[in-house]
A and B are shown apart, each in its own frame.
Chain A
Amino acid sequence: MTSLTLVRRIKARPQVVFDAVTTAEGIAQWWGPDAGPVLLSESEPRVGGRYRVRFRMLDTTEHESSGEFLEIVRPERVVLSWRWKGGLEDPDESRIEITLKAVPEGTELTLTHSRLHNEETRRSHEGGWTGSLDKLEAHFARSASA
C-alpha cells in the first residue's frame, strides 16, 4: 500500500495543535503547500462530520479536497478520508491519520497519508508496496549519485 509518513515536533501543546488541525478556523491558517491563500474552509470535527478546503497556490492553480472525520480523539488522534475535487489527478479516496504525542517541547505530530492509489492496492493480492517504493527510492538515489 502506498503511503507517506511525516513527523514534526511543534512547540505548542497537543490540544492547541489538535484544534489547529481540526477546526475550520485552524485549517484556514495552514492548509496548502506554499504561501497561497486558503479560499474556503469548512469543518465539523466529530465522527461522521465533514470538512472541505479550497486553496490557491502561488502558481494560481486552485485545488479543493474534502472528506469525512472517521475517528476523533481530542487531543491525540484524528483520522480523515480525503478526496480531491474533480479527481483528475487522483480520483481515489485516500486516508489521513494524524497522531499527537505530548513531548517536553510541546507536541510530536505524526501524519500518515495512506491508500494513495487505492485501485492498484485493491487489485493486488500481493501487496508489498512498501518494498517496491524502497526500491524506487534506492534506484533514484543511485541514479542521482552515479
Chain B
Amino acid sequence: MVNHHDRLNRTFWALVDPTRRAMLAQLERKDGASISELAEPFAIKLPAVMKHLDVLDDAGLVTRSKSGRTVTVRLRPEPMREAMEWLRRYEHFWSGSLDKLAAYAQSKDTDAQRRGR
C-alpha cells in the first residue's frame, strides 16, 4: 500500500502549481479533454504541458486514455477528497476541543465570580 502521507504529499504538491490547478478546473468543467485542448489556454509549450500532466497523473488526479492518436484526459477527484478529509480532521479536532474549552472557561469564570473576585 502506498503510504497515506506520500499520497497526500503528491496531491498537495500537484495542487500547489497554478497551471495545474487551472488544468484541473478546465477538466472539471468539461468531462474529458484532449491534450491540445488542455494546452490551449496556456502560453506554454507542449512538453511543459506533458510534464504538468505527469505530476497530476502521478498524484492520481487525472487519468489518460488513448484512442487511436487522441489521448483523452479526465479528472479523477478522489485524491482531492482525501486531501480535504485530512484537513477536516484538524477542523474536527479544534472544533471539538474549543467547544470543551468554552464550556470549561465559562464554568471556571462563573465559579471565580461567585467566590467574589
Contact = CB atoms under 8 A, between A and B. Distances in A.
Contacts of B90: 4, 113, 116
Given A89-B4, A123-B13, A29 B84 contact: no
B59 to A, nearest CB: 11
Say whether chain B's binding surface is mostly helix, strand, loop, or mixed.
Answer: helix
B17 interface: yes
A111 B94 contact: yes
A126 interface: yes
Q: How many residues of B sit at the interface, in one of the four size bands?
A: 35 or more
Nearest to B10: A120
A4 B21 contact: no
Contacts of A117: 8-9, 12
Contacts of A12: 102, 105-106, 108-110
A126 B21 contact: no
B112 to A, nearest CB: 7
B27 to A, nearest CB: 11
A106 to B, nearest CB: 8
A111 B102 CA distance: 13
A79 interface: no
Contact of B101 (A21, A34, A126, A135): A21
B105 A17 contact: yes
Nearest to B8: A117
Interface stretch (B34-42, B43-51, B64-72, B75-83): B75-83
A16 B100 CA distance: 14
A87 to B, nearest CB: 9
Nearest to B105: A12
B105 A10 contact: yes
B81 A140 contact: yes
A60 interface: no
A20 B16 contact: no
A32 B97 contact: yes
A132 B5 contact: no
Contacts of B109: 11-13, 16, 106
Given A4-B87, A12-B109, 17 more contacts: A2-B12, A2-B87, A8-B102, A10-B105, A16-B112, A31-B100, A89-B5, A90-B86, A109-B98, A111-B94, A116-B87, A117-B9, A119-B9, A120-B9, A127-B16, A140-B80, A140-B81
10 contacts: A4-B94, A6-B98, A11-B102, A12-B102, A13-B109, A29-B100, A33-B97, A116-B87, A128-B16, A139-B77
